Structure 1
Amino acid sequence: MDVRIHEYHVPPLENVAKVLQEGLQKSFTEVSVTVEDCPDLKKAPFHLAAEGLSGLPRICDIGGVPYLIPLAQPEKRYNYEEVASLAGVPDGFFVGAGAGPCHIIGTNSELMPNIKCSGGSGSLTRNETHYARICEDGKSHLMEKVPNGTADFCLMGNVFLSQGKPGKALRLRLKRRTGSDNLTTAIRKILLETFGPDKPVGLGGVFLISKGKAKLHIMPAFSKTALTSDEDVDKWLHYFEFRAPLICLSVMSSCDPGWDLRIDHTHCFSTHGAGGHYHCDTTPDEVEYECWFNVAEKLVRVDQPKETHQIGRD
């Protein structure tokens, strides 16, 4: 399998905190960005598979949207244990977004990767991965943990990878959105403006929407007709408004310097049955975010599509 490793620009966390503290005040009425010891993310309200976000931090971009659109290629199958080895972090901890294992679930789905790999250490893999799918009635949805603890997935994965160790991380506390961009877009634009297109910066981790509601989508079964435009994709997707709390697993890059990246991708799960692909909060006067992010050192590009496009990447 084709694997390419690229180097991110890695500014000190303190520098990133400073520019986000300044920049996010244009988007939220209350902003606090600090560098702190990461809490134990295995505990509520985050429910992750590992304690922290430190240790060989990188972003993995596996497959891509061209394997879903215009027509799905379900034979594109991957496994997070294998990706961890390819990325040089066999005991890695993944959080992020992607497509579920259709060969196991039986249909297309949104995947919320949340898995700490064993790496042959003798310890058991801890898998807290969830998925969301559209039910057979074509309207309602189901969100639950992946069956049998599978580490498989299909088509694409956009994940933050680390050893899951405790350590310093960025903590963002934000209230009441005033800007037009969603959270991840606002962050990306600040990083791009600060560091420029020649110094791509990658961030990943988790954020909690603790108050308010958010717009999410869930993919239905694979389209039998080709999706050839963003309008086609929009009509195909199923949209929902879900209430907080929502646990959002997120990766983003400030720019794409020719690596054919999914520039940002966030999937959410919850303890009350809500989940899917994050678009934006829908209650800006009420919304509150708490984020824990780390800066990635490398980008690991796995099985990059030979033919690409920009459709369906919102």
Structure 2
Amino acid sequence: MAAVIRNPPVQSKALHSPPLDEVASVLSGGLKGNFAEVDVRVVPCPDLTKEPFTLACKGLGGSPRLVEVGGVPYLVPLVQRDRLYDLKDVGSWAEVEPAFVIGAGAGPWPYAGVNCEMMVNMEVAAGRVSNHTRIARVDPGDGSCVQEVLPDSETRCALLANLFCAQGTPGQVLQVICKKRTGADDFVSSIRKTLQSFYKDKAVGLGGTFLLKEGKAKQHVMPDFSTVPLNSDADVENWLRFFNMSAPLIAVGTLVSADPGLDLRVQHFHSFSHHGKGGHYHIDTEPDAAHYLGYFAVAEAVCRVDKPQVTHLIGRD
């Protein structure tokens, strides 16, 4: 059985942190190229512990950081099962206390018995864990998606994760509302590409949550680890299991407009639900019905944890 990696290497870099009003203005203009209705403004963060979001903390404030752990090269071409981490350590890696941690990753296969998706949603305060994290796996019998909530005692993740970490305090955030997708890009890509176009090589990172209020979304759930090498994006796509999942879906994750030399995954969101479905978000599949409500914070820095020494770009969609 693999042991959790203690004291992995951590690299930190400051990110470009423009004022929220500026980012709101940039997104207000850029997102109109992909959605018929766009409303972006700076607002006090609503209580995210309440429905529909049901997150572990009320807000996104307090030393906001992006934290990327491991990476896809630990999953493909073949899995490296020794890459196992304890998310109770995220606060110490990012120097944030208490630590509200949300995001997308690979779930703890030693707990699940198989490879699985992970929708991280927890608070670690004074060593105590309030864990609302969910995992989603493929049922080997009928191929369906099975979602479950992890107990407070299960705080491990495997292989890779893209996390937002902050103290979870109330404060000002970006509220992004988009309706009726008219372009080819998904909600996350639309935001990232808009920021990239405006800020060029300045790395601006956002973390937070969004709700697909109406419609459906293409999402994948990883099956158990492949026994044959996955050497291309086509190999990865054929291995994954895709589902058309119904709203409402609550997504958590991160995006960054540019990689500041840390081999980052530039966007990664997973969603969970209260109707038993969850997975890796790709795009809405009913564009006319698509209705997104998102709350995001601008990250001050990024922490790169256990960066793979041998890397590639396969499987990063």
Q: Same fold (TM over 0.5)?
A: yes
* C-alpha distance in structure 1 between counterparts of 2:241 and 2:97, whole Å: 36
Give 5+ residue unaligned stretches, structure 1: none
* C-alpha distance in structure 2 between counterparts of 1:37 and 1:90, whole Å: 22
Match of 1:125 among 126, 129, 135: 129
Query: After superposition, what is the alpha-carbon deviation per residue over 1:7-43, rounded to whole angstroms, capped at 9, x for unaligned?
Result: 1000000000001001111111111000000000000
Q: Which residue of 2 aligns with 1:296?
A: 299
Q: Structure 1 residue 4 and structure 2 residue 22: aligned?
A: no
Match of 1:183 among 184, 187, 206: 187
In the superposition, the TM-score normalised over structure 2's length comes to: 0.96
Match of 1:270 among 238, 251, 273: 273
The offset of 1:66, in angstroms, is 0.4
The offset of 1:257, in angstroms, is 2.6
Give 5+ residue unaligned stretches, structure 2: 1-7
Q: Which residue of 1 aligns with 2:256?
A: 253
Match of 2:38 among 31, 44, 49: 31
Q: Structure 1 residue 82 and structure 2 residue 82: aligned?
A: no
Match of 1:239 among 219, 232, 242: 242
* C-alpha distance in structure 2 between counterparts of 1:196 and 1:110, whole Å: 32
Give the letter for the 1:245 counterpart: P
Query: After superposition, what is the alpha-carbon deviation per residue over 1:204-254, rounded to whole angstroms, capped at 9, x for unaligned?
Result: 100000000000000000000000000000000000001100001020000
Are the equivalent residues in 1 in contact too, given 2:129–2:152 (CA < 8 A)? no
Query: After superposition, what is the alpha-carbon deviation per residue over 1:281-304, rounded to whole angstroms, capped at 9, x for unaligned?
Result: 000001100000000000000000
The offset of 1:196, in angstroms, is 1.1
Q: Structure 1 residue 171 and structure 2 residue 178: aligned?
A: no
**Percent identity of equivalent pairs:** 47
Q: Structure 1 residue 96 and structure 2 residue 103: aligned?
A: yes
* C-alpha distance in structure 2 between counterparts of 1:147 and 1:88, whole Å: 25
Give the letter for the 1:20 counterpart: L
Are the equivalent residues in 1 in contact too, given 2:63–2:167 (CA < 8 A)? yes
Give the letter for the 1:62 counterpart: V
Are the equivalent residues in 2 in contact too, given 1:94–1:161 (CA < 8 A)? yes
When the two chains are superposed, the root-mean-square deviation of aligned CA atoms in Å is 0.9
Are the equivalent residues in 2 in contact too, given 1:204–1:296 (CA < 8 A)? yes
* C-alpha distance in structure 1 between counterparts of 2:75 and 2:235, whole Å: 13
Q: Structure 1 residue 51 and structure 2 residue 65: aligned?
A: no
The offset of 1:151, in angstroms, is 1.0
* C-alpha distance in structure 2 between counterparts of 1:194 and 1:158, whole Å: 23
Q: Which residue of 2 aligns with 1:67?
A: 74
The offset of 1:148, in angstroms, is 5.0
* C-alpha distance in structure 1 between counterparts of 2:61 and 2:81, whole Å: 33
Q: Structure 1 residue 139 and structure 2 residue 143: aligned?
A: yes
* C-alpha distance in structure 2 between counterparts of 1:168 and 1:95, whole Å: 18
In the superposition, the TM-score normalised over structure 1's length comes to: 0.97
Give the letter for the 2:63 counterpart: L
The offset of 1:138, in angstroms, is 5.6
Query: After superposition, what is the alpha-carbon deviation per residue over 1:247-290, rounded to whole angstroms, capped at 9, x for unaligned?
Result: 01020000113210011000000000110000000000011000
* C-alpha distance in structure 1 between counterparts of 2:260 and 2:142, whole Å: 39
* C-alpha distance in structure 1 between counterparts of 2:104 and 2:133, whole Å: 10
* C-alpha distance in structure 2 between counterparts of 1:204 and 1:258, whole Å: 19
4+ residue segments displaced more than 6 Å: none
